[in-house]
Structure 1
Amino acid sequence: MRQYNDLKKMMDVASGRRKASLVLKGGTIVNVFTERTEVGDIAIEDGCIAGIGEYDGLTNIDMAGRFICPGFIDGHIHIESSMVSPPEFERAVLPHGTTAVITDPHEIGNVAGCQGVDYMLKATEGLALDAFFVMPSCVPSTGLDESGAVLGAEDIKPYYENPRVLGLAEVMNSVGVVAGQEDLLEKLREAGTRGKVIDGHAPFLGGNQLNAYVCSGVWSDHECSDAGEALEKFGRGQWIMIREGTAARNLEALMPLFEAPYYERCMLVTDDKHPGDLISMGHIDYIIRKAVSLGADPIRAIKMGTFNAARYFGLKDRGAVMPGLRADLAVLGDLKEFRVEVVYKDGVLAAKDGAMITDCGVPASDDGPGSFADSAASGRETAFPRVFDSFHMDEVTQEDLVLERKGTMQRVIQFKPHELLTEERLVPWQDMPGLAPGVNTEQDIVKAAVFERHLHTGHRGLGFVGGYGLKKGAVATSVAHDSHNLIVVGTNDNDMVLAANTVRKNGGGLAVVLDGEVLGELALPIGGIMSRLSVQEVDEQLEALKTRTRELGISSDIDPFMTLAFVSLPVIPKLRINTYGIIDVDRQAQVPSSF
């Protein structure tokens, strides 16, 4: 229960002895406890719901014909993956009814360590959107990854004193946990002793290995890609996070979890989502809308996007329309289209008709209080130098792209549409005239390179990817989970060099190149992964870049940058590429690109 500023006043309002400051009149209220709707008034005082029933307020707002549900809660997201600063992220999601997120800052943590985490904590202070944190558990993700920092158990421990830090974030190195790797167990013991939530990340883990993983204290998972895997983990007591983001879209495969008894221990999450999707499609509201279109009960879906996340993370002051809880409310036109018309945060009108509202009741401006321009002016760049100066590498040359052929066969990292999983594809080496050795656009095989960019080590990994669709030119990005080194793919070395150096010049970002010309670029100077621009500007530039990639042959069926971003993460099967080379995730071993 929330602690009120004036308990006597709240009791007077709840009992009807005193008029509420605000009453939402005659709305159809979604009750996550009874899983039914009821028509009534909602009395709001001091940012909280005082009562539900019949009330008269100092201000009354007619809600007849509209549905009122709890504000949505994203139980697992990386704000950095939106490619905008936290205030701009708020501007994208709050109008869609999201009033709280649980974010894992391991993207910026891999770039700048504790300084990156501190930046995210500071940048989310004072927002209308409540940003809670779970501390990165795997920085770097495994011993076969090369990031800009290492976060050990002693580094993480002090953050648990912050009331906004709820637990330990996705423990990606499930192999290390099951094997009893001491540095991981130390983090698990510390979080467990403090009674903190421990989130999981263990694709395809089952049997006794799953038993060991759950026994360690990991009670959730967001990597299930089919119902069978999810049900096994559910049966071992894990909460299942149903993910529908930009690159990984698991909702359709996990629709059986919307049935009893499974939905009671499931949450809706996005994990990673680009700004265009947030603006045009939505956030948690989009997942609910899509689930309902696929046959889910709308109230169960709302419960999975609100109350269940609050319950799992111990957020006892939100997640339901209930007396005593925060007045975080989303107002909907119906329970089919799920279009959010109005959002109240702590009882104050926060968004209307798709736009944020400031305290004075006018649309928020791009340079107003809380904007990134405002926060940068307050000295954040000076306070967090590792965040704003994160590129430390030499210019890329053609010599850096020389890949030694060691046999007649190629090992290709094959993308799977709409999934983070990859497959191993073995093909005979066959050069095509005018392209880099090993590239075969007829077989949809292009060259890939990853360059270490944090500590000036000069390390690089070379290999091949398939299923990306690139027919000409090159694409480069410094958004490469989780270590966020510089990755470039292309059909020829000249374009790959230019694309890589364009990103380097900008201190991070994206670039698309063809025939020695930069077709488009987006600078991401905040850690090499976030922009200083508004969410609308980032979306416009990103969509323009995506259009350019279509001209290079990449299908509109995939997100060219989000798909590329995960090809270097060595904790998701089957193959990845990073500064160590080609990684077989199942074996946690480096393997040759040709043999």
Structure 2
Amino acid sequence: MEHIKHKTWAQSAARLVAVAAGRAPADLVIRGGIWVNVQTREVLPDHDIAIADGRFAYCGPDASHCVGPDTQIIEAGGQYMIPGLCDGHMHIESGMLTPAEFARAVIPHGTTSMFTDPHEIANVLGLRGVRMMHDEALMQPVNIFTQMPSCAPSAPGLETTGFEITADDVAEAMGWPGIIGLGEMMNFPGVVNGDPKMLAEMAATMNAGKTVGGHYASPDLGPAFAAYVAGGPADDHEGTCEADAIARVRQGMRSMMRLGSAWYDVETQITAITEKGLDSRNFILCTDDCHSGTLVNDGHMNRVVRHAIACGCDPLVALQMATINTATHFGLERELGSISPGRRADVVLTSDLRTLPIHRVIARGVTVAIDGAITVECPHYDWPDDARATVHLGKTLCGADFHIHAPAGANEVRARVIGVVENQAPTKALSADLQVQDGLVPGDPARDICQIALVERHRGTGGVVNAFVSGFGYTGDMAMASTVAHDSHHMIVVGTSHTDMALAANRLGEVGGGVTVWKDGREIALVKLPIAGLMSDEPAQDVAAAADRMMAAMADCGCDLNNAYMQHSLLGLVVIPELRISDLGLVDVTKFEITDLFEDI
């Protein structure tokens, strides 16, 4: 398999000019295709594309003047030639894969550019972890740009991370070759309140001429939202309704509409374009979080584009939102996002613009996938041993660590309960009256209330915070544990049995991280994620198969939520309302403060 070396425009300009003028032969000519021009929103039949040095040299009705004796010819046969697809906001770690294996998974789906925020590994390994992700990303045959994480911890004072990201770290990273901007600014209360650290991070990014990513997870679209936009974030992917999308673009942001494994926020927002008629060039499609099973079985950005079209979006508009709009937003319109002279030769051949079957993927002028099979290498970084040993429990846990003690003398308590919302990131702050048994407060699976625990895993303190969660539908004796626990990535354990919860937590300590499901005292599924407790460097298909078994095991325990694993992994995300859990306690995210587990009756 071939490894693709990338030339800059400056290194290629003289040859591109010569090829376009017919003075030198192209490396590759794609002949007889339908040119989907996202610059003008046109479909142009019977066109050719000439490629040299991994870049487009000529796009027009006849490229015969670019053909030499050694020029490779690809007969498009009337297929559509669309730009390689771009994911405007995503986290590689959410795929449970390293950048190399993530690339291997998505290339056959037509993704050739990704704008990634590795803030998951930043919470575990700090700036060094970000650099390792960045370095492996630059080794790949497609374009993986890195946004320097902005918020580790995501909400200072409400959680404890393995490492913290500072404004000096951000300033240093802005000089790295693959850094495209600042990752999502999740600490929106900090921005609104003028926090000097947050403003310094955004200033360092803007001083470097790069883009600040946004994350405004609040329904308040009044002065607080205006203050957030004034602070610098240029895009936002946390919108869940049409009003959110409209507010963002009216204030000069790009509205990023996401379809991930569990986030279905395109359909509810795309009406801003399809019904309200707003300018679609200010909208971008993205995935945010996709686990490996979704990538292997359902697709990546091709899945998002198909979904947008199914929601009533014009196919050409949907393609713009997954190509040129994204490139323009990050200042790369002259580099990628369209089939135009001088740009990186990232092109996909498809026979239908609505269903988007991916027949051939070309990245930087080289065929990287044909009909679902990858044809290039995706090189791996040499991950060090200490990046594979990050689960530090401090002790062997037992069932008693998961006991919830009732207030003295109480026979009944009113408890705060985290309410899971299917297919959405926000949770609900619920209340439930629970009976006390022998001084302890158990869950009530009959009412879909089970226990949740956050186990500290960065410093080996042995700390366990216990609370309640509803929405998974678990029955019988079971437990599920994961070291993927956005954003601080401690360990989250959800279960109905204290014994199984302890067994699950200890198992992840033993294997170095991942996801495990236990039922009736035995393990019924395990996904090993030894790198930072977040990723595997095994092939995507193998990780996806393990993830499929994990999802089946959750169903076997009574859970029928769509992609419930993603919901599980976000239960500690203390920057999205309404109620979450952290190593410091239960967090009321509507007030950004620690709250008591029990309410006054």
What is the TM-score of this pair, normalised by structure 2?
0.93
How far residue 431 of structure 1 moved from its aligned partner, in angstroms, is: 6.0
CA contact (8 A) 2:142 2:364 kept: no
- Alignment of 1:332 with 2:337, yes or no, is no
Find 1:540's aligned residue among 537, 545, 557.
545
CA contact (8 A) 1:104 1:136 kept: yes
- 1:507 corresponding residue in structure 2: 512
Q: Which residue identity does 1:70 align to in structure 2? A: P
Rounded Cα–Cα distance in structure 2 between residues aligned with 1:165 and 1:566: 26
> Which position in structure 1 is the counterpart of 2:370?
352
Matching of residue 132 in structure 1 with residue 145 in structure 2: yes
Residue 285 of structure 1 pairs with residue 288 of structure 2: no
Q: SS in structure 2 opposite 1:140?
A: coil
Please name the residue that 1:391 is paired with. 391
Alignment of 1:49-198 (within 5 A): 49-53=56-60, 54-56=62-64, 57=67, 58-143=71-156, 144-198=158-212
User: 2:254, 2:282 within 8 Å by CA — same for their partners in 1?
Assistant: yes
Q: Give the match for residue 23 of structure 1.
A: 29
Q: Does the alignment pair 1:295 with 2:312?
A: yes
C-alpha displacement of 1:16: 2.6
Equivalent residues in 2 for 1:210-249, closer than 5 Å: 210-249=225-264
Distance 2:146 2:15 in 1: 32
**Alignment match, 1:37:** 43
SS at match of 1:117: helix
Please tell me whether the aligned partners of residues 198 and 218 of structure 1 are also in contact (alpha carbons under 8 angstroms).
yes
Greater displacement, 440-449 / 200-209 = 200-209
Q: Distance in 2 between matches of 1:158 and 1:9?
A: 35
Tell me the distance in 2 between the aligned counterparts of 1:413 and 1:108: 25
Give me the identity figure in percent.
34
Q: Which residue of 2 aligns with 1:381?
A: 384
Report the counterpart of residue 361 of structure 1 in structure 2: none
Quick one: distance in 2 between partners of 1:292 and 1:200?
Answer: 25
Q: Within 1, Cα distance between the matches of 2:108 and 2:467?
A: 42
Q: CA deviation at 1:86?
A: 1.3
- State the distance in 2 between where 1:230 and 1:395 align: 48
Q: 1:192 Cα deviation (Å)?
A: 2.3
Counterparts of 1:432 and 1:515, CA distance in 2 = 21
Give the whole-Å Cα distance in 2 for the aligned partners of 1:518 and 1:59: 53
The residue type equivalent to 2:427 in the other structure is T
For structure 1, which segment, 123-132 or 439-448, has the greater mean C-alpha deviation from structure 2 after superposition? 123-132
Tell whether the 8 Å contact from 2:406 to 2:436 is kept in structure 1 after alignment: no
Question: Are 1:276 and 2:293 matched, yes or no?
Answer: yes
Equivalent residue letter for 1:312:
H
Please give the alpha-carbon distance, in whole angstroms, between the structure 2 residues aligned to 1:151 and 1:101. Answer: 22
Post-superposition offset of 1:582: 1.0
Deviation at 1:258, TM superposition (A): 3.6
CA displacement at 1:233 relative to structure 2: 1.9
> How far does the alpha carbon of each residue in 1:18-49 deviate from its partner, in whole angstroms, 9 at most, with x for none?
33221101100111122110020001111111
Q: Which residue of 1 aligns with 2:3?
A: none
Partner letter of residue 299 of structure 1? L
**CA distance, structure 1, for counterparts of residue 556 and residue 159 of structure 2:** 33
Query: Corresponding residue for 2:224?
Result: 209
Listed as ranges, the gaps of 5+ residues in structure 1 are 359-363
Q: Is 2:317 the counterpart of 1:314? A: no
- Equivalent residue number for residue 471 of structure 1: 475
What is the match of residue 584 of structure 1? Answer: 588
Q: Given the superposition, is the C-alpha separation of residues 416 and 7 from structure 1 closer, same or farther in structure 2, using an over 3 Å criterion?
A: closer
Q: Distance in 2 between matches of 1:558 and 1:405?
A: 34
Moved more, 89-98 or 396-405: 396-405
**Matches of 2:57 and 2:350, distance apart in 1:** 21
TM-score by length of structure 1 reads 0.94
SS in 1 for 2:492: strand
Contact 2:455-2:464 at 8 Å conserved across structures: yes
Checking the alignment, whether the CA contact within 8 Å between 2:400 and 2:498 is kept in structure 1 is no
Does structure 1 residue 400 correspond to structure 2 residue 401? Answer: yes
Give the Cα separation in 1 of the matches to 2:315 and 2:397.
Answer: 52
- Residues 6 and 397 (structure 1 numbering): CA distance in 2 closer, same or farther, change over 3 Å? closer
Question: 2:461 aligned with 1:441, yes or no?
Answer: no
Q: Quote the Cα distance in structure 2 between the aligned partners of 1:46 and 1:240.
A: 34
1:563-589 deviations in Å (ceiling 9; x for gaps):
100010100000001111210001111
Shift of 1:4: 4.4
Rounded Cα–Cα distance in structure 2 between residues aligned with 1:537 and 1:145: 33
State the distance in 1 between where 2:12 and 2:559 align: 59
**For each residue in 1:543-570, what CA deviation from the matched residue of structure 2 results, as whole angstroms up to 9, or x when unmatched?**
1111111111000x32232110001010
Distance across 1 between alignment mates of 2:73 and 2:52: 13
Provide the aligned C-alpha RMSD in A: 1.8
* 2:53 pairs with one of 16, 28, 46: 46
Counterpart secondary structure, 2:591: coil
Say if 2:484 and 2:491, in contact at 8 Å, map to a contact too.
yes
**Structure 1 residues 6 and 487: alpha-carbon distance in aligned structure 2, compared to 1, 3 A threshold:** closer
Q: Which of 361, 375, 395 is the aligned partner of 1:343?
A: 361
SS in 1 for 2:359: strand
Partners of 2:8 and 2:536 in 1: CA distance:
36
Given the superposition, is the C-alpha separation of residues 422 and 7 from structure 1 closer, same or farther in structure 2, using an over 3 Å criterion?
A: closer
Offset from partner CA, 1:296-346 (integer Å, 9 cap, x none): 100110000000110000113110011111110111111111011100111
Q: Secondary structure of the equivalent of 1:496?
A: helix
Secondary structure, in 3 states, of the residue corresponding to 1:572?
coil
Which SS does the other structure have where 1:161 is aligned? coil
- Give the counterpart of 2:456 among 431, 452, 462: 452
* 2:417 equivalent among 406, 412, 431: 412
Distance 1:67 1:439 in 2: 56
Q: Distance in 2 between matches of 1:461 and 1:205?
A: 30
Instruction: Say which is worse superposed, 50-59 or 69-78, in terms of deviation.
Output: 50-59
Q: Deviations over 1:47-90 (max 9, x none)?
A: 11111120122222111221011111111111111101111101
CA distance in 1, matches of 2:23, 2:551: 59
Q: Deviations over 1:208-264 (max 9, x none)?
A: 111111111111100001111221122111111111101222111112144443311
1:262 aligns with 2:279: yes
> Quick check: 1:191–1:197 contact (8 Å CA) kept in 2?
yes
Please state whether the residue corresponding to 1:414 is helix, strand or coil: strand
Letter of the 1:84 counterpart: L
Question: Taking structure 1 as reference, are residues 485 and 8 closer, same or farther at Cα in structure 2, changes over 3 Å only?
Answer: closer
**Structure 1 residues 537 and 6: CA distance shift in structure 2, 3 A:** closer
Look up the SS of the partner of 1:20 in the other structure: coil
Q: In the alignment, residue 46 of structure 1 is paired with which amino acid?
A: D
Query: Is the Cα–Cα contact under 8 Å of residues 48 and 324 in structure 1 kept in the other structure?
Result: yes
Deviation at 1:408, TM superposition (A): 2.1
